[in-house]
Amino acid sequence: MNFKRRALTRAASIAAIAIAGTMLLSSCAANEAPAAGSASTAPSTLSGTLNGIGSSAQGAAEIAWSADFQTANPNVTVNYDPQGSGAGRTSFISGAADFAGSDAALKDTELATPSPLCATGTKAIDLPVYISPIAIAYNVDGLKTLKLDAATIAGIFKGTITSWDDPAIKAQNAGAALPSAPITVVHRSDDSGTTQNFTEYLSANAPTVWDKPASQTYPYQIGDAAKGTSGVADAVKGAKNSIAYIDESGATGLGIAELKVGSSYVKISAAGAADVVAKSPIAPGRASGDLAIAIDRKITDKNAWPMVLVSYLITCQKYTDAAKGKLVAAYAAYAASSAGQQSAAKNAGSAPLSTELAAKVAKVIATIK
């Protein structure tokens, strides 16, 4: 009797351990987009498989695009693996991925290495397809609006401005109910394109305060760190008197600061972010058709939002395999199209490309072979 009970509990504990082990091992989910079910109205002639690797920021948009694209073209399979921008570029250059998604344009050294995918003599190109404004989100009771300039933001995120009633903040927010409480700064704990673009903005606009170069890793040892956009959002929501930089899509439910651009304060807007990207010059010294953008962080236009992340699709100008080229061109054309941009805005919270930039991108995509 006793023995039996013991054997039972032992069996139960072994089962529990086994279950725990399985749970531990099964924590990674596949990222495959759902295969399209319905047939399209105009039967598509495209068929084949496209494999993309790259930016996790673009991940949600790529899932939306591939799902839409597969619905329209039932014989096509698009896989996108959000391993990260660096991994995406490396895989593309080595030929392991048909296209890459990257929060940074190809570097010169990467451009110099020919990918086996691209026809000899042609180069890889960067196509801006994903724009995400970065917000300064805060959680302070009773504080409806908050106005900040670049130097103040740099001071807060560097740790030199430590209290909400600091004179630098007060001067810009006359009459606002600023608590006399310490500021809890939250930044990303994982390397990210968001950090890269945020630090790029600060080092361009407040170089005297923000004395570290732009980087994917948060450069100062201050404040709280949290994982991913959702982790940062959770941390800010859970802590009073906190502030963070975050992709706008993750900032719902939090206060968003207005940013001083030129001489006026600007509210965050998708159009303002898209506008900055459209007005920024194309990075110099690249092949024609390469639309790598040198974001003008110091833009002073009305309503412009220069704290913005641009993510690229990286493809060949001419693929060695013509069928692949046709497929990539069709997919990229959808991503950059108005429908594709709206789909990304809905599913990933990105800012749609402005019409002029979209037209420019579409013109280049039409030449992909």
Partner 1 sequence: MTTGTPGAIKAKMRMGDRVFSGSTIIAGAIILAVLAAVAVFLIAQSIPALVARPGQLPNAAPNFWVYVWPLVFGTIWAAAIALIFATPISIGVALFISHYAPRRVAQLLGYVIDLLAAVPSVVFGLWGIQVLAPAVQPFYAWLNTNVGWFPLFDGQVSGTGRTILTVAIVLAVMILPIMTAVCREVFLQTPRLHEEAALALGATRWEMIRTAVLPFGRPGVVSAAMLGLGRALGETMAVAMVLSPAVVVSFFVLTSQNPNTIASNIALQFPEAAGLGVNTLIASGLVLFVITFIVNAVARFVVNRRKAFSGAN
User: How far apart are alpha carbons 270 and 276 in whole angstroms?
Assistant: 10
Candidate residues 27, 120, 208, 263; the one interacting with partner 1 per rule CB under 8 A: 27
CB of 281 to partner 1, least distance (A): 27
- Compare residues 9 and 252 and give the one whose CB is closer to partner 1: 9
User: Token pair of 81, please?
Assistant: 């693996």
Which of positions 233-262 make contact with partner 1 (CB under 8 A)?
Answer: 234-235, 238-242
Contact assessment for residue 334 and residue 252, using Cβ atoms and an 8 Å cutoff: no
- The pairs formed by 173-181 with CB atoms below 8 angstroms and a separation of 24 or more are 173/145, 173/146, 173/147, 176/143, 176/144, 176/145, 176/146, 177/142, 177/143, 178/140, 178/143, 179/140, 179/141, 179/143, 179/241, 181/240, 181/241
User: How far apart are alpha carbons 333 and 345 in whole angstroms?
Assistant: 16
Q: Does 11 bind partner 1 (CB under 8 A)?
A: no
Q: Does 52 bind partner 1 (CB under 8 A)?
A: no
CB of 153 to partner 1, least distance (A): 18
Q: Does 214 bind partner 1 (CB under 8 A)?
A: no
Q: Which of 136, 154, 89, 137 is nearest to 311 (CA)?
A: 89
User: How far apart are alpha carbons 279 and 88 in whole angstroms?
Assistant: 27
Choices 9-17, 256-264, 300-308, 334-342; region in contact with partner 1 by CB under 8 A: 9-17
Contacts of 121 (CB under 8 A, 6+ apart): none
Candidate residues 75, 217, 252, 355; the one interacting with partner 1 per rule CB under 8 A: 217
Interaction mask 83-122, partner 1, x per CB under 8 A: xxxxx-xx--------------------------------
- Compare residues 83 and 341 and give the one whose CB is closer to partner 1: 83
- Using the CB atoms, write b or e for 298-327: b if 16+ within 10 Å: ebeeeebbbbbbbbbbbbbbbbeeeebbbb
Distance of CA 17 to the CA centre of its chain: 39
Interaction mask 184-203, partner 1, x per CB under 8 A: x-x--xxxxx----------
Q: How many residues bind partner 1 (CB under 8 A)?
A: 47
CB of 36 to partner 1, least distance (A): 27
CB of 184 to partner 1, least distance (A): 3
Interaction mask 142-181, partner 1, x per CB under 8 A: ----------------------------------------
CB of 16 to partner 1, least distance (A): 4
Task: Quickly count: other Cβ atoms within 10 Å of residue 143's Cβ.
Answer: 17
Q: Hey, what's the torsion of the CAs at 53, 54, 58, 60, to 10 degrees?
A: 40
CB of 86 to partner 1, least distance (A): 3
Applying CB under 8 A, the residues found at the interface with partner 1 are 6, 9-10, 12-13, 15-17, 19-20, 23-24, 27, 56, 82-87, 89-90, 182, 184, 186, 189-193, 216-217, 221-227, 231, 234-235, 238-242
